[in-house]
Amino acid sequence: MPFQEIKLYQAGTFVAGNRLLDPEQRSVQARTGRSNSLTSGHRACQGCGEALGARYVLDAAMRATDGKLVAVNSTGCLEVFSTPYPESSWQLPWLHSLFGNGPAVASGVAAALRATGRDDSRVVGQAGDGGTVDIGFGALSGMFERNDDVLFVCYDNEGYMNTGVQRSGATPPGAATATTKALGPEPGNVFGQGKFVPLIAMAHEIPYVATATVAELRDLEYKVEKAMSFHGARYLHVFVPCPLGWRAAAADTIKLARLAKESGVFPVFEAEHGEVTEVSRIRRQVPVEEYLRPQGRYAHLFGDPGRPDVVARIQARADRNIARFGLLGEGDE
Amino acid sequence: MRSQLEGSQAVARAVALCRPQVIAAYPISPQTHIVESLSDRVRTGELAGCEYLLVDSEFSAMSACIGASAAGARSYTATSSQGLLFMAEALFNTSGLGLPVVMTLANRAIGAPINIWNDHSDAMAMRDSGWIQLYAESNQEAVDLHVQAFRLAESLSVPVMVCMDGFVLTHAFEEVDLPTQEQVDAFLPPFVPQQLLDPDDPVTIGAMVGPEAFAEVKYLVHATQVAALDEVPAIAADFERAFGRDSGGLLKRYRLEDAETVVVALGSVLGTIEDVVDSLRDDGFRIGVLGITCFRPWPHDEVRAALGDATRVVVVERAFAVGAGGIVGQNVRDATRGLPVVVQDVVAGLGGRPITRTSLRGLFEDVVADRLDASHLHFLDLDVELVQRELARSRARRRSGPHAEHMLRDLGTVASGTPHGGG
Amino acid sequence: MFSVRIHGRGGQGAVTAAELLSVAAFDEGRHAQAFPTFGSERTGAPVVAFCRIDDRPIRLREPVMDPDAVVVQDPTLLHQVALFAGLSPEGYLVVNTSAPLERLGLAELVEQLPDGHVVAVPATEIARVHLGRPLPNAALLGALAALTGEVSLDSVCDAIRDRFPGHVGDDNASAATAAYEHVRTAAVGPARA
């Protein structure tokens, strides 16, 4: 289920506690027998959105496939913090090859499973935004157009965090990174660049494309399980705040993810065969400033005198998302 | 069965007989006929159960082979030239992970200037990638080396590259004795992977390794290659027993008995060299040929033994290390260190320039007469005057423009229709 | 060793002709090697293909520099390409033309070659009759077989039919046969074959 059917607004969240739900409706994480595919003890930073996202994604995929799952990982934070020699946090078969080839490696694994008669096992490829939208993009598009039986998951923290917070093709305008510092007349990342790969994935008309955030983990699990109900190429783009790279409090990861959605900065939706099928509507709209202010990467927008003009441009982008995806529809979500 | 076949078709049939389970390939001349033929074989069901991935690049081709091999499938690709370099990162990854992928390399020059014709610049650029490199002299040997390559790769869990000269072999129609399926099945057992992505027994492949063990992991890659120095001849001996043909192995010795002068070379030029050596022998010259079939790992001791009685060695190679000299030559000098032998490097046949009997005979006569200055790198049939005219042009004007265009205009070259246009 | 150089234009099948010739020789139990000069595939560009035939295995990989026979598929190449470079003084020449060789400016060359070693074959016309298409390949191979005797007409026709199953192969074999008969019976050029 994408959203819990009962509403119980707890302090500071919009999420119902599992103990109030029927056991069958509990999240994968709340169940006994969860696979702990990415088990504890890894070296991720406090408040790492990617570690949280990966844990939910893989456990949900493991549940959906009855444990018949192989993971392929591109180079990046997730790969580095999970496998410092001689330790590994992975409790499923896991292969890391290179930075730019995750989707192609995953295609190869899927082909091998078919060729060796083991196609009851499924494949998840995973990478950060750099490995997905930049260096791995050609391989990703190839995997999509061939409709290979791979779920590819992008954990989008909007920059090259593993190498020291440089700009990627997924870095939003205005954000300061090590290569787009708050210097000069147009501080931070420039407007008019970058790409939103979920829409490009949809252009391949693959069976399933979805976006999600680590603020709504039941929704994330739901989308993983739904993705695994399809065969062919599937793409899941998960918004994962990075306290280190965003210069935000480790405790604010969930909050920032939620504010990204509630401000319209990050649209959450599903699409099948190139058409949007579901949109997660904004429950309580907030101005983008509420999302931007807690993040050090936007600090240059809020000093004295600050850059209200830049904030306004970011708000305009969010408003465009809201209009484009109908994020303020009549729904009561 | 003996047939008159194009080299690419022969190799595609040989690969099909090896029952690859995953093929991932991206087209590049002159590799295309091989992967086209394999595509046909998958589509017609001749290669039943094989998954053929039409990937977006050579980088993805090798990457898919990495995934497929780690997931337990016998994996194959083919490429050439720029394609091999586009794979470079994945080549090192394949060997570092110890995945027994087999690849055909239809050798071709590397640009710029862009050039689709044969030389060994591609393979030589990747000589330190941790792949075993075997070089075919003929299409028969290319066929035989592929059958051996799968067995070698899987017995040591190491990737193997079979190099065959682009166009010269891939597009040549000649006689090939193709083995039967039963013969190949008896020689090449089903793939049993050393490591496997298996949900019932999960392992982590490709973990990060820091300074505490990186050298040791890399040492094992080296040790595996060294082990191949025993495995390559053992498999060749097995092959001869099974197929009745002496094919493969580390080195090919031709008329080395009492040879004072030895020509060292790799690949299809060996045949032409052997013809020239025969004629020189007829004229009383004590000259022989040492063919390098296995260039990586480098058969140091075997080369040293083979050249132990020579006084002059001339290495004819289709590539060179820019700014340094011969590549095979450097390895030969290393193998003959301390022996009373002079090793000369001669670069020949770059970018498809034919290596002719006439030029080789002239070269070998110079070598035998000690007329070749061992302190220089030599280029066979180099148009020295053309080079000098272009250098003069460059000196005369700072913004003199692109060399390649000037030199072509200088030559008046337009059509490829002369006998000198190909190789 | 008998070596042949075939000059044509991209799309005329020079490479296929060399391959078929090698197959014909192979079928007669001889060793043969065929290969093209390799270029980008462009229709109409000058193309050269080679074939060597021998009684022992062929190791040589250089292009055919001193052919025993030259086949010219397209007479418009005459003044573009060095068609006759290295042609042996005892060599053979087959030219696809319905015009007398003298009119092509080849009288001098014809004089230098032995009697009966030069033939002009209207291969394109023969092809039009037998295939309905202007593909001179098979006819030129038939003519070469007749002129040189290096391979038999039967082997040439078998190689053609093997490569092109069905009526395409049969029609091409007919064209080869017609050209073979043409060379064997007709007075062609100054030399009588």
CA C92, C94, C99, C104 torsion-angle sign: negative
**B310 and B203 fall within a common domain:** no
Query: Residue C44: what pLDDT?
Result: 82
| Whether residues B234 and B335 fall in one domain | no
Domain membership of residue B170 (yes or no) is yes
List pLDDT tens digits, range B47-72.
Answer: 999 999 999 999 999 999 999 999 99
Nearest CA in chain B to A67: B199
Mean pLDDT computed over B33-57: 97
Residue B34 lies in a domain: yes
Confidence band for C80, pLDDT divided at 50, 70 and 90: confident
For position B235, which CATH number holds? Answer: 3.40.50.970
Q: Do C63 and B419 touch (CB under 8 A)?
A: yes
The reported pLDDT for the residue numbered A5 is: 54
Residue A164 has pLDDT above 50, yes or no: yes
pLDDT for the residue numbered C10: 86
* A104 with B63: Cβ contact below 8 A: yes
Q: How many CA atoms lie within 13 A of B203 on its CB side?
A: 9
CA-CA distance, B287 to B270, in Å (whole number)? Answer: 14
Taking an 8 Å cut-off on Cβ atoms, the answer to whether B172 and C34 are in contact is yes
Looking at the partner chain, which of A84, A92, A95 has a beta carbon nearest the beta carbon of B70? A95
Q: Which fold has domain C2-185?
A: Pyruvate-ferredoxin Oxidoreductase; domain 3 (3.40.920)
Tell me, what's the pLDDT at B27?
A: 98
DSSP H/E element including B122 = helix B121-125
Q: Which domains does chain A have, with CATH numbers?
A: 34-325 (3.40.50.970)
What proportion of chain B, given as a percentage, has pLDDT over 70? 97
What pLDDT sits at residue B423? 33
Which H, E and C letters describe C81-139, residue by residue? CCCCCCCCCCCEEEEECCCCHHHHCCHHHHHHCCCCCEEEECHHHHHHHHHCCCCCHHH
From chain A, pick out residues whose CB is under 8 angstroms from the CB of B71: 70, 108-109, 112-113, 116
Chain A residue with CA closest to B192: the answer is: A116
User: Region C9-13: what's the mean pLDDT?
Assistant: 87
The tokens for A281 are 């509507």
Is the pLDDT at A185 greater than 60? The verdict is: yes
Number of domains in chain B: 2
Section A296-305 average pLDDT = 94
Q: In the predicted model, what is the mean pLDDT of residues A164-183?
A: 97
d(CA B121, CA B133): 13
DSSP A131: I
Does residue C191 surpass a pLDDT of 50? no
pLDDT tens, position by position, A45-65: 999 999 999 999 999 999 999
The pLDDT value recorded for residue B416 is 42
Say what the ipTM of the complex is. 0.94
Contact C61 B417 (CB under 8 A): no
Domain of residue B338 covers: 251-379
* Co-location of B300 and B183 in the same domain: no
B393 in a domain, yes or no?
no
pLDDT at residue A20 in the model: 66
Helix/strand number for chain A, H first, E second: 11, 8
Q: B105: which strand partners?
A: B79, B163
Mean pLDDT rounded to a whole number for chain A = 93
What residue segments make up the domains of chain C, in order of their start? 2-185
The residue-averaged pLDDT of B287-305 equals 98
Residue A330 has pLDDT above 80, yes or no: no
DSSP helix, strand, coil percent of chain C (3-state; round to 5):
40, 20, 40
- A332 pLDDT band, cuts 50/70/90, is very low
Cα angle vertex A275, ends A274, A281, to 5°? 130
Taking the C-alpha atoms of residue A127 and residue A169, their distance in angstroms, rounded to an integer, is: 14
Q: Is residue B407 part of a domain?
A: no
Average pLDDT over every residue of B304-327:
97
Shared domain check, B120 and B43: yes
Measured in degrees and rounded to the nearest 5, phi and psi for residue A73 equal -130, 130
CA nearest to B274 within chain C: C59
> Is B404 inside any structural domain?
no
User: Is there a single domain that holds both residue B234 and residue B319?
Assistant: no
Query: What phi-psi label fits residue A162: left (phi over 0), alpha (psi between -120 and 50 degrees) or beta?
Result: alpha
> Is the confidence at residue B419, as pLDDT, over 50?
no
To the nearest whole percent, how much of chain C has pLDDT over 70? 94
Gap from B353 CA to chain C (nearest CA, Å): 10
3-class state of residue A125 by DSSP: strand
Tokens of A323: 């209009």
Write out chain A residues lying below 8 Å of B211, CB-based: none
Mean pLDDT of A60-85: 96
Pairing of strands C69-72, C46-54: unpaired
Which of B243, B269, B284 is the C-terminal boundary of a domain?
B243
- Provide the CATH number for the domain around residue B264: 3.40.50.920
> What percent of chain B shows pLDDT beyond 90?
95
Distance from chain centroid for Cα B185: 26
Token digits for A289? Answer: 């400033």
Instruction: Tell me the shortest Cα–Cα distance from A125 to chain B, in angstroms.
Output: 11
State mean pLDDT over B387-403.
Answer: 93
> Would you call C23 and B173 a contact, using CB atoms and an 8 Å cutoff?
yes
C189-to-C73, C99, C113, C118, C144 alpha-carbon distances in Å? 17, 9, 13, 8, 15
Dump strand ranges (E) for B268-416. 287-292, 294-296, 312-317, 342-347, 378-379
Inspect the interface and report whether the beta carbons of B56 and A141 lie closer than 8 Å.
yes
Count of alpha carbons within 13 Å of A102, Cβ hemisphere only? 33
